[in-house]
Structure 1
Amino acid sequence: MTTVVRTSLPLDAWPEGDRSLWKAALRQGTIFDPDGAAAHWAEETRRQVAKGYSKWLGALHDLGLLAAETAPAARVTEDHLRRYVALLKAQGLASVSIASRVTDLMEAVRVMEPEANLSLLRSLVSTLQQRAQPSRNKARRIKRPGEIWEACAAEMTRITTDPTPLSIETASRYRDAFALGFLVWSPIRRRNLAALTLGETLRFQAGRWRVAFGPEATKDKTHLTFALPDDEDYQTAFAQYLRVIRPKLLRGTDCTPDGLPQLCGPLWVSTRGTAMTAHALYYAITRCSERLLGAPLNPHLLRDCAASAITSERPDYVLAAARILGHSQLSTTLSHYEQASMLEAGAHLQEVVAEAQSRRTSYEVATTRDSTGEGPDTPFHDLWKDI
């Protein structure tokens, strides 16, 4: 029998003081009481930081250093941090993962004790991030949007022209290719991709299919609205998915063209006829891209591909890339997504960034508003067609 070795302390096993501070950090305030420091965090962020803090408490417990009566910030000593990092290395974690663990620890302490001095943690996080080496070479997996879409289109054409009866398995392959292609044209975040629902977040209005998410559904708490591309090949592929592929997965009959605007329910349907989860979409898209392109492109990496294509071929669009990807700060785009140096963009990008920042004409390309006036009409496709 295999023994499971726990490396974390579950939330219900945290010291009582830590649980109380964490609960207070997540609390939604009233008109008289302010929100907790983490009240605005998305559920996924809360889980991630809580998991990281559980790892920290688990390590302290295993090392015999966890004093339940000690406040979270008081436990963050240089000796404890050195021993924690050494333990993570001994567990075989990559340098990027170690930096992420310590970052989660810092964020947890920050929201639990907003007045705490975090200079030691910030210094350690900075050092670890500078030294972190990705275990996988992202540069080799970056693909140009046009290349990805061509592979998706070819796969969907093979399926639609195949004379054999459509099976559930074949329908799922078309779905995966279209989902990959969807992110090529509209590189939204995975949770928004999974939440696309016909008749709700995806509607046929004024002759076009339009996506609309409220601020409560986006990471940066702003509206996300855009129209799907009017490219003929894209529209043909989308119509085929709605008319034939999706009904097959739902165990129904083909939908007529006139019935498309009235469709409702999840856009992405599993082989069991149910809505696909964000997790299922992640693996479906990754598997599909590896099969079609020889490189596993997950939904997040496709956002890198989008930003890289813009900033490498059209560096004057770098501010548009930030707006398209939902970043309120240009630094986020540059530090996390900009792979232009990998694609030989060179120093011209930096010149453009400096000039654009000095002029403060942010997002001139990406501020075309749709009928709601709440966001760019197209998040990416009007740009990459020219790349």
Structure 2
Amino acid sequence: MPASRQSAPPAVTTPSSSTSAVSPAMPRKLALDLVAMRDWPQSDCAAWHAALRPGDPLDDPGPLAGRDVERISKFCAAYGRWLGFLSESGIDWQAASGLDFLVRENVGPFMTRLNAALAPCTVRAYLTELSTVATAMAPDRTFDVLNAATRHIWRTAKPVADKRGRIVSARDLYDLGFELMQGASKRTTPLKAAGAFRDGLMIALLAARPVRRRNLVSIEIDRQLTRQGDLYWLSFPAEEIKTRRPLEFPLPSALTNPVEEYLARFRPFLVARNGRWKDEPGKALWISSDGSRLKGGRIHRRISERTQERFGHPINPHLFRDVAATSIAIEDPEHVGIVLAILGHSTIRTSEASYNQANGIEAARRYQSVIAAYR
């Protein structure tokens, strides 16, 4: 059935300095090799595994135990990035531990290197992840310089670009999702058809229920996604949510048939694929073209590319959350508090500060036009 819709830090250049600003036209990509974990010093590998150690009746769990796979991958990349920087700087770390080089003489240039290529909030994320990893791998040590640098950038980092120019309405994203699903049968190959339907379903689902990317990635059939009566529900336990509060909500009824069609037709087709790097996907909802679980980076690319084709600029999965808050503020300002439930925030202040890009004048104007239409 085709888818249908019913209605005191190191003395370095900081992100707040004019010399560290990243031009909007500059590609935000760091040309720095990451050192794979297999090439880390032996002591670092041992410390990493100890940090991940699950608890048992006789031992406490490691500091990173219980973190989700995507988060662990970011932590691993953070330390690999640090070792890559040391190599690029001509520092011989192989016989020691990369943690020993987290001193002012190295942390300062590392920040400068990041600031030259990345947006301030990305630099903040990279430093925070490195600080978390260092503390987890060596809980008995203090990394004063790195921690001071991290605190400083949390105080000073501001987004480089105004996101208002990239915001579209939630309805437009929802429509795009359905158009991709409805047009899937017209694609030139079965693989392209499956990819279009999958991407359309992801976009429509995110437009309606803008969960964080890691939660979108983690969805498994009969675990986070279940059928209850005529509707599909998404349920995430507290340990999988950033705010540590469980989330549970139904998908719109208009998505019931598309989910059914994806599960019955397109997902089995994708699972049957045998790409070179295939890993058995288990019950993962989103499947890649090689038959594996679709990972976060590829979901980001697929959604960004589909929205780029339609709107002329990419809308990544996280920006869907801005879209939701802004759409509510413009179209239903009297009930803006519902954004709490939609985004899973604990306070309305978080939603307003982090995501709501609506211009106050535009919101008021549209709200007045809605009122006038019903007179």
Distance of aligned partners of 1:277 and 1:148 in 2 relative to their CA distance in 1, 3 Å threshold: same
1:125 is displaced (CA, Å) by 2.4
Q: Secondary structure at the match of 1:212?
A: strand
Secondary structure in structure 1 of the residue aligned to 2:314: coil
User: Could you tell me how far 1:287 is from its partner in structure 2?
Assistant: 2.3
Say if 2:35 and 2:84, in contact at 8 Å, map to a contact too: yes
- State yes or no: 1:28 paired with 2:46: no
Q: Which of these residues, 69, 87, 112, is aligned with residue 137 of structure 2?
A: 112
**5 Å matches for 1:218-257?**
218-220=241-243, 222-230=245-253, 234-235=254-255, 238-240=256-258, 242-243=260-261, 247=265, 250=268
Query: Residues 208 and 323 (structure 1 numbering): CA distance in 2 closer, same or farther, change over 3 Å?
Result: closer
Q: CA deviation at 1:197?
A: 4.4
* Deviation for aligned residue 1:279: 4.2
Residue in 1 that maps onto 2:359 = 344
Does structure 1 conserve the Cα–Cα contact (< 8 Å) formed by 2:107 and 2:145?
Answer: no
* CA contact 1:246–1:269 (8 Å) conserved in 2: no
TM-score, normalising length: structure 1: 0.65
**2:16 alignment counterpart:** none
> Equivalent residue for 1:146?
171
Q: Deviations over 1:90-148 (max 9, x none)?
A: 6x444444333322221222222335445533432244455546566533212221232
Please provide the CA RMSD for this pair.
Answer: 4.1
User: Residues 184-235 of structure 1, C-alpha deviation per residue, up to 9 Å, x if partnerless?
Assistant: 11112334334444445433223332223445554555543221223xxx25
CA contact (8 A) 1:25 1:37 kept: yes
Match 1:15 to one of 23, 41, 53: 41
1:207 aligns with 2:222: no
For the 8 Å contact 2:177–2:204, the answer to whether it is kept is yes
User: Where do residues 287-306 of structure 1 align in structure 2 (5 Å cutoff)?
Assistant: 287-306=305-324
> Could you tell me the percent identity over the aligned residues?
24
Unaligned runs of 5+ in 1: 253-263, 349-387
Shift of 1:183: 0.9
How many residues are treated as equivalent by the alignment?
Answer: 321
How is 1:1-387 mapped onto 2 (pairs within 5 angstroms)? 7-65=33-91, 75-88=101-114, 92-129=117-154, 132=157, 134=159, 137-153=162-178, 169-170=192-193, 172-215=195-238, 217-220=240-243, 222-230=245-253, 234-235=254-255, 238-240=256-258, 242-243=260-261, 247=265, 250=268, 267-268=285-286, 276-310=294-328, 320-327=338-345, 333=351, 337-338=354-355, 340=356, 342-345=357-360
Residue 57 of structure 1 contacts residue 66 of structure 1 at CA under 8 Å; is this kept in 2? no
* Structure 1 residue 305: Cα displacement: 1.6
Aligned residues of 2:47 and 2:137 also touching (Cα < 8 A): yes
The answer to whether the Cα contact below 8 Å between 2:177 and 2:203 also exists between their aligned partners in 1 is yes
Query: Which whole-Å CA distance do the structure 1 matches of 2:109 and 2:214 have between them?
Result: 36
Cα deviations by residue, 1:302-351 (Å, 9 ceiling, x for unpaired): 1222233345666676665344333457675455x32x2x31148x9xxx
8 A Cα contact 1:210 1:226, kept in partner: yes
Of the two structures, which has the highest relative contact order with CA contacts closer than 8 Å and spacing of 6 or more? 2
Query: What amino acid sits opposite 1:101 in the alignment?
Result: Y
Contact 1:9 1:54 in 2 (8 A): yes
- TM-score norm. by structure 2 comes to 0.67
